[in-house]
Amino acid sequence: MGALQSYRLRLQRKRWRIRAFRKRRELKPVVNRTDQIQPSDLLLFSTMRNEKVRLPFFLDYYRRMGINHFVIVDNDSDDGSADYLAQYPDVSVWTTKASYKRARFGVDWLNWLQNKYAHGHWTVVVDPDEFLIYPFCDTRPLRALTDWLDASSIRSFGAMLLDMYPKGRLDHQPYKPGQDPIEIASWFDSGNYVMSRNGRYGNLWIQGGPRSRVFFDETPELAPALNKIPLVKWDKRYAYVSSTHMLLPRGLNLVYDEWGGEKASGVLLHAKFIDTFSHKAAEELLRKQHYNASVEYRAYAEKVDQNPDLWCKWSEKYINWRQLEILGLMSKGNWA
């Protein structure tokens, strides 16, 4: 990388930070308990809209993992999400009525809050339908991982988005609050992912899975990106560029090994495809607040009427992280 390119990226990073600074005024605190954050706390940042039904399990899942404090941006929910969140002592909530799209799909808001509250902390950034799986997550808390990453001088940890889906119609099994959505959406595609290197930011660009297979089989280049870097030892100079797909400075994107070895990595189980999906897709299609003119939701809408079955004969049923490791979707790296 030349000095010029390096300088350009530096300017770009500053631009995103300035943008985040400007967007801070769109956020109104509902309850701010960030003064309780201890220096070694693990934090979780998320932006959400009308996800109340998912919240009980979501909070519980990450609390059990060892998250000490949740920082949530509520984007104008009308289902009482904000009030629900505000009642918990380990949650801080901001709310905004501003455009999700113009905040670059929430990235600006979270960049601002992270820069303000996450400096020096290990930070998880996920959506409410994403569940982090990392090696040994059934026996070791998240702090074991972050301690090990610290000791190994690693600043960021990659976890690919793994789309989960039920067998049969999406609306067949209703989701109840507090339920583990993976009980319903327990299937996934194990081996149809393609990836290429993004020359500018250095990250991998991964596509594939059921969404490619069913919704984008004619236009694979439009299929959504699945590469994610949700766990970062945050520094206020950092900025997410596009969702949690990539960051600046670009060294943080090097979560893969280029010399034949495997770095440790995890998976984000993506429990998007449950009965709430079609309602959500219809709503998002009207709001047009999603990436690339909501191309994803348009593609869904075309097929959702036919009630597609994402499940196929070769779908795998989720068991645990070791299964994902053996299938080659994630890796222990040298963590033993």
By the criterion CB under 8 A, which residues form the site for other proteins? 136, 139-141, 143-144, 147-148, 151-152, 158-160, 189-197, 204, 206, 210, 212-213, 217-221, 227, 255-265, 312-316, 328-336
Q: How far apart are CA 69 and CA 78, in angstroms?
A: 24
- Nearest approach, Cβ of residue 164 and other proteins (Å): 13
**DSSP letter assigned to residue 260:** S
Q: Which one, 205 or 291, has the nearer CB to other proteins?
A: 205
Q: Which one, 257 or 283, has the nearer CB to other proteins?
A: 257
**DSSP letter assigned to residue 213:** I
Q: Which one, 61 or 335, has the nearer CB to other proteins?
A: 335
**DSSP letter assigned to residue 117:** H
Q: Which one, 197 or 237, has the nearer CB to other proteins?
A: 197
Is 69 strand, coil or helix?
strand
Q: Which one, 286 or 314, has the nearer CB to other proteins?
A: 314
Could you tell me which of 188, 169, 156 has the C-alpha nearest to residue 269? 188
Q: Which one, 121 or 211, has the nearer CB to other proteins?
A: 211
For the chain, the distance separating the N- and C-terminal CA atoms, rounded to the nearest angstrom, is 34
Structure tokens of 217?
């089989």
Provide the b/e sequence for 244-267 (b: ≥16 CB within 10 Å). bbbbbbbebbbbbeeeeeebbbbb
Q: Which one, 204 or 239, has the nearer CB to other proteins?
A: 204
- Report the 10 Å Cβ neighbour count for 236: 14
- Nearest approach, Cβ of residue 57 and other proteins (Å): 25
Q: Which one, 117 or 165, has the nearer CB to other proteins?
A: 165
- Nearest approach, Cβ of residue 12 and other proteins (Å): 24
Q: Which one, 101 or 332, has the nearer CB to other proteins?
A: 332
**Pairing mode, if any, of strands 316-317 and 187-188?**
antiparallel
- Nearest approach, Cβ of residue 248 and other proteins (Å): 19
**Pairing mode, if any, of strands 316-317 and 231-233?**
unpaired
What distance lies between CA 185 and its chain's CA centroid?
17
Could you tell me which of 136, 108, 128, 120 has the C-alpha nearest to residue 22? 108
Inter-helix orientation angle 277-287/291-304, to 10°: 140
Inter-helix orientation angle 3-23/107-117, to 10°: 90
- Nearest approach, Cβ of residue 210 and other proteins (Å): 7
- Nearest approach, Cβ of residue 303 and other proteins (Å): 14
- Nearest approach, Cβ of residue 326 and other proteins (Å): 10
- Nearest approach, Cβ of residue 127 and other proteins (Å): 18
- Nearest approach, Cβ of residue 86 and other proteins (Å): 30
Structure tokens of 59?
């909070």
**DSSP letter assigned to residue 229:** -
Q: Specify which residues 138 forms β-bridges with.
A: none
